[in-house]
Structure formats: C-alpha cells, structure tokens
Amino acid sequence: MSDPKTIKRLIGCFGTIQLITALSVLKAREKEQHELNLKYEDYLIVTPLFAPQGQNEEFAAFITKMAKSIHSWENIVYLSLNQTKSITEQIQRYGLLEVAPFFHELVGIDEVDEIYLARTWNLENTILMNVYKSAEKICYGDGIGIYFSHAAFLPDNPKIDSLKSLYNHIKKQIKDLLPRKEVFQKQEFDIGYFSLPYAFGEVPPMETVVLDRRIYLKTFQTLRKSLDKLVDFNYIKNLQAKICTESVSIILTSNFSEASRIPLEKEIIAYREFLESQKILPNSVLLIKPHPRDSKQKIAQLKSVLSDLYVDIIPLVEDFLFYLPFEVLFMELFLRSDLTKLQNPRIFTFSSASLTLEFLFNVECTIGFGSEIVNKYFYSEHIAGRLKHELDLLSTVGKVRNLIAA
C-alpha cells in the first residue's frame, strides 16, 4: 500500500459551540474520505471573539484549552480584532501578496487543502479565504450547524437601509475617482455541512450535506469524557448536590445589550418580567448560564435583581463554565451516560441555543420574550427583527420536534 496523502485542514472558529460543530464536520468529512488513504494535519485559528472588554483573551484561552482536550492540532493561534484591523490596513497599503507570508507565519502553514469556516462575509474570514484561496472552502454553519446569511444580522429599519444605500453610493463615487487596486477577491463556499440548513427560512447558496444529529452528539460525548481537563469537578459535584432535590429552572441569557439591541438596565428588567410571567414554583432554584459574549457585570446585576424570586440563584460565571458549551454541562448535570434524563429542568432561552438542546437531547425549551416585552424594551430599530427572529425560532423548533417525533 502506498503512503497516505496528507490533507492539511485549517479551521477558523469564534466560539466553543462553533468548535464543536467544526470538529463534527471534520469527522463527517473523514468518514466520506475513508477509502482514499488520507491522513490529516489540522490547524486552528481562533478569530475575533467580540466579547466585552477584558474577556476576549480568557475566552480565547478557554477555546484553545478545550480544543487541545478533544483533538490533535499542529498549531493553534488567536487572531485578535486589533490584529485583524492591522493586517487589513497592511493589505490595503501593500497588497495581499506582500502580506500573505506574514499571515502564513502567524497560522503556521503556507498552503492548506481545506478551510472550514462558519461564514464568508466577515472581515477575518474574507482574509483567510483570500490568503488560502486555492483551498476547498467548507461551511460548517453557526451554532450547531445552522446556516445564516449576512442579511440575518442586519437591523430591520428602512431608514437605516436608506442611509446605508446613500453612504455606499457616495463611497462608490469616491472610489471610482481613485486608482483601482484589487484587495480581496470575492470567495464562496464550495460545500456546506449543516444540521438544520433551512432554519429561519434561509437557503444555503452552496452544495449542502445534511448531517445526522448523532455526528454532533458524538463530539459532545467526547468532550464530556474530557471534562476533567476543563472544569473543577468538586464544583460540579457540589452543584449537583444543590439541585438534585429541587425544582430547577435554567435561563440562557443572550448578549442583547452588548450587541446594542437593548439598553443594559432594560435587558435585566426584561428577563425579570419574563420570568415573573412563567409561574415560578415554590423553592425553585435558578441557574443562569451566560452567553459567552455577555458581560460578567451584567450577570451579577441580573442575579441581584432576581434574588427575591428564587430560593437560590446560581450564576455559572466561573471561568471554566462561562465559556463552556452549555450542552455538555447539561449532559453532566441532567443526563445519564446513555442520555436518558435524570431531571427535567425548565429551560428558558432567547436564541438559537434552544435549537441545540431540542435537536440533540429532545428537551423542550420556552423560547423568546414575546411581543409585549420586545416592544416595550428593545431599541426601535431592532424590534421588528427581534420579533421575526422569535417567530422563526418557534417555527424552526416546531420542525425539529416533528423531525424527532417522526
């Protein structure tokens, strides 16, 4: 038998759940290629994380630690937002060919065969796809393999859209007067691997492979077996003891104020009003699982504001829990090793995190604030988009439940 061919793979990710999803897609690709006599060298680049000030470095460090605990890497690097801006300025000044060697040195490789990214349209991924333009470009989606286009992240406001159109028109007129110099070529994905490719009414523009949820579950189970490398198990045991005999609720917060969709004080009030509407049971314990891009100060304020509603409130803000994918903590606290349920906590979610829990573990989540709270507290330019997102979440979760029940 001839020596195996080496396939060099570069994975770009911006969070721990994205890392899990990317690794799941790697395994799916390996299964497809198992007869081709291949071996793999894997490189990980952690792209800008957009966490609150002071939290980016610890977030990147946790992603790196988690990545090493469950996979073998040739190299792992963190590309900060400041580095991204600096590299972009250098490319604009000197051209891509001049700057590419620096980028190769940063990542640790000159050429790759495959590059795995969640999306094409953000700056750091544009750089990666141009620096390694000969690579096969593979989309693994956001969250647990969900495709989002750029339009999904824009505010739904005609006035803002008009101003943007005017700005882009003026910018184009000025640009036409300047010497033409191509900086980046438009790049597209060759193929995408998703769990729920048509969620939120999206239609991926590339060839699409739909993966079975068992692919993702296997990666989570691998992470669960490696948890002792990442968390303080004494803390986990104490937490299990606190909640094993109580009525437990879990709220998965989101980074609404950090993303300028709602004022901070109103976000906290919105969570309280929502929970008050949910008929809190006597002697209930509340676990607060922050979004990795939440500010820790916000979570402390939220605990204080909710303190009279629950017999105990436990914010999961330790460094080893703040950035850990909640799904693996849920497995450890509430599921046996065969994934049957130990407890049935009430789960309140406001994002696509609900899809992961419903899709993987068949647990029912309560989703979204509802129109009254959204209309009362969100910034006006984000109300329509937020209401649509909540309706899309509910619709997609309904499809997931039907899929699992079939």
Q: What is the pLDDT of residues 215-231, one digit of tens each?
A: 999 999 999 999 999 99
**Residue partners of 297: CB distance under 8 A and separation at least 6:** none
Residue 274 CA to residue 369 CA, distance in Å, equals 6
Residue with token string 């989703």: 367
pLDDT in tens, 95-118: 998 999 998 999 999 999 999 999
- Tokens read off for 155: 């505010």
Has residue 312 got a pLDDT over 50? yes
Residue 22 CA to residue 41 CA, distance in Å, equals 15
pLDDT score of 162: 42
Has residue 294 got a pLDDT over 90? yes
Has residue 173 got a pLDDT over 70? no
* Cα R_g (the chain), whole angstroms: 22
Residue 154 CA to residue 148 CA, distance in Å, equals 11
Could you give phi then psi for residue 377, rounded to 5 degrees? -120, -25
Stretch among 39-53, 233-247, 377-391 having the lowest mean pLDDT? 233-247
State how far the alpha carbon of 295 is from the alpha carbons of 180, 262, 289, 304, 314, in Å: 42, 14, 12, 15, 16
Task: Quote the Cα angle for 251-257-258, to 5°.
Answer: 100
Look at residues 253, 194, 232, 212 and name the one whose alpha carbon lies nearest to residue 329: 232
* pTM of this structure: 0.89
- Give the mean pLDDT of 83-92: 90
pLDDT score of 328: 95
pLDDT score of 160: 42
pLDDT score of 80: 94
Reported as a pLDDT band with limits 50, 70 and 90, residue 180 is very low
pLDDT score of 151: 61
State how far the alpha carbon of 271 is from the alpha carbons of 37, 220, 274, in Å: 53, 29, 5
Has residue 167 got a pLDDT over 80? no
- Give the mean pLDDT of 375-402: 94
Residue 400 CA to residue 146 CA, distance in Å, equals 12
Residue 20 CA to residue 220 CA, distance in Å, equals 7
- Give the mean pLDDT of 188-195: 96
Residue 397 CA to residue 367 CA, distance in Å, equals 9
pLDDT score of 158: 44
Residue 401 CA to residue 380 CA, distance in Å, equals 32
Could you give phi then psi for residue 48, rounded to 5 degrees? -50, 140
- Tokens read off for 24: 């799941």
pLDDT score of 246: 75
Percent of the chain with pLDDT over 90: 75
Percent of the chain with pLDDT over 70: 92
Q: Is 286 in contact with 310 (CB distance < 8 Å)?
A: yes
Stretch among 176-180, 209-213, 361-365 having the lowest mean pLDDT? 176-180
pLDDT score of 62: 96
Q: Is 10 in contact with 114 (CB distance < 8 Å)?
A: yes
Name all domains of the chain by residue range, CATH numbers in brackets. 5-153+186-211 (3.40.50), 231-405 (3.40.50)
pLDDT in tens, 21-43: 999 999 999 999 999 999 999 99
DSSP alpha helix (H) spans, 71-157 = 81-94, 96-107, 123-131
pLDDT score of 184: 79
Has residue 155 got a pLDDT over 60? no
The rounded Cα 175 to chain-centroid distance in angstroms is: 35
Has residue 329 got a pLDDT over 90? yes
- Give the mean pLDDT of 373-389: 96
- Give the mean pLDDT of 161-187: 52
Residue 42 CA to residue 127 CA, distance in Å, equals 19
Has residue 330 got a pLDDT over 90? yes
Reported as a pLDDT band with limits 50, 70 and 90, residue 150 is low
Has residue 172 got a pLDDT over 70? no
